[in-house]
Every structure is written in structure tokens, then in C-alpha cells.
Amino acid sequence: MDEGTEAGLVCTLRLPTCERSGVTACVPGGRPVCEPLVPLTELCNGGDDDCDGLTDEGDVDGGDAACDTGLPGRCGVGRLVCIEGAFSCEPTLLPASGAEICNGEDDDCDGYTDNITFGDAGSLTRACYQGPAATREVGVCVDGTQACDASTGWGPCSGQVLPTIEICDQADNDCDGQVDDLPGTDCTVTPGASRDCYPGPAGTQEVGLCVGGTQSCPLSSATI
Ligand SMILES: [Ca+2]
Ligand SMILES: [Ca+2]
Ligand SMILES: [Ca+2]
Ligand SMILES: [Ca+2]
């Protein structure tokens, strides 16, 4: 090294597009080099601070820092981006495509959390059904609805009709697609109706003392 002779002298650093003041420094086994007095750091200012021929390029000092865009919902999360010589807080997350979901966030960035219509505060609702899938919307079985709570998620399913035991009522209570399918049970009689009957041997009804009777279908069980 040439200490005391060539190191520490004021010099001019010539870069691709500009010059900077520097000071000489010795490199072991080589010629002295001119090092800049201040770091050549690209700033967001519309200039080529690091003299490489590019303006505000790459990792601009201070860029990519977290910031608040001021936009509602998930669009409020942003990062500093250098645009035309000045930092701008750009959203990191864009509005979720299509739909608000029940997650406690304002996914579509309209200012309302878990709302059903863009720009309206009404909460999300959806159809629900907790019975076997094959019985859904079959027979008497119908969906219910459940509402979204921003803090607890989907609420209870209300209004749904689930399968029950099949009874004689001209309805498909167990929701298997078959109305009043009760093997061994005659469901053809209307509850409360009655019909003639005679359990004796054929040919003996209305002979001698033998007479027929009446059979009623009870209102309570709707079976006879
Ligand atoms: Ca540059
Ligand atoms: Ca929303
Ligand atoms: Ca949401
Ligand atoms: Ca039935």
C-alpha cells in the first residue's frame, strides 16, 4: 500500500451518467481507487442518485415499507411504491374477486364487513341444511338460512325442515322421495274417515245374526 502518498486524496468518481466527489483509497496490490464521500443510494426523487443511468429504479431507499392506503377493508393494507419521483401507498391486497365471504373482513373494500351487497350494510346470509344430503329439498325437507356474524362466523341454521319418521299424512316425511311408504300399513284412508268392515268368513255377512260393522281411522295416528 502507498500509505501517506496516494490514499486519502480528494478525487472525482466518474460514473456512467454523472460524477461524484470522492477520496482515494488503496487496494492491496492494486492502484488507488476513488470511493464516494456519501453512499450512492437511489432515492425516490426523480433523479439518478446512484449514477447508474436509471432513475428511481430497483430498491429505492425507504420503498416497500408498510403503510395505510386509507382505503376501506382489506384494501387498506399497503406498501410504499416510488411513482414519478414520489412515494405512493399502493394496496397490497386488491378487492377479493366477486364475493364477500364470512370471515370478519371487508373483502370487497366497500366499507362494510361481511355484507351481502356491495355498498350496503346488510349481513351475509346463506342457505343451510343439516340433514343427509340425499334428503335435501326432497319431500317436506327444505333448507333453512343462517346469518354471518363478523366476530363468530356463521350462526345457527334456522327454518330448515329435517327428515322425520314417515307417517300417514300424504306427505313424504322421511324425505326419501316416497309418500307414506309404510310397509304393512294402509294409508289410503283419510284421517277421521270410516269404512264398512266384516272380519267373518265370506258369505256369512248379513246371514242369520251376522252383520257387518264400521271401522274408523283415528285422527291422532292417521292409520287404521
Ligand atoms: Ca439509478
Ligand atoms: Ca364489504
Ligand atoms: Ca368478509
Ligand atoms: Ca308421510
Render pLDDT for 43-95 as a digit per residue (tens, 0 to 9).
999 999 888 889 999 889 999 999 999 999 999 999 999 999 999 999 999 88
Report CA(190)–ligand 4 centroid distance (Å). 12
* Segment 17-45, tens digit of pLDDT: 888 899 999 888 878 899 999 888 999 99
For residue 139, the tally of other CB atoms under 10 A from its CB is 19
Report CA(168)–ligand 4 centroid distance (Å). 5
Q: Considering the domain boundaries, does residue 196 fall inside one?
A: yes
Q: Considering the domain boundaries, does residue 203 fall inside one?
A: yes
* Protein residues within 5 Å, CB atom, of ion ligand 2: 100, 106, 108, 110, 112, 115
Q: Considering the domain boundaries, does residue 224 fall inside one?
A: yes
Report CA(173)–ligand 4 centroid distance (Å). 5
Q: How far apart are CA 106 and CA 120, in angstroms?
A: 12
Q: Considering the domain boundaries, does residue 49 fall inside one?
A: no
Mean local confidence (pLDDT), 160-167: 96
Q: Is the dihedral of CA 114, 116, 120, 123 positive or negative?
A: negative
* Segment 136-146, tens digit of pLDDT: 999 999 999 99
Structural domain of residue 195, as residue ranges?
A: 189-224
What is the DSSP-derived secondary structure letter of residue 123? Answer: B
Q: How many domains, the chain?
A: 1
Q: Considering the domain boundaries, does residue 195 fall inside one?
A: yes
Q: How far apart are CA 124 and CA 155, in angstroms?
A: 11
DSSP-derived secondary structure for 159-223: S-B------SSSS-TT-SS-TT--TT----SPTT-EEEE--SPTT-TTSTT---EEEE--TTT--
Q: Considering the domain boundaries, does residue 91 fall inside one?
A: no
Band of pLDDT at residue 9, cut at 50, 70 and 90: very high
**pLDDT at position 218 over 70:** no
Within 13 A of 222's CA, how many CA atoms are on the CB side?
Answer: 11
pTM: 0.58
- The ligand with the least distance to the CA atom of 103 is 3
Grid cell locating 78: 399497503
H/E element, 154: strand 153-154
Grid cell locating 91: 394496496
Q: Considering the domain boundaries, does residue 142 fall inside one?
A: no
Q: Considering the domain boundaries, does residue 141 fall inside one?
A: no
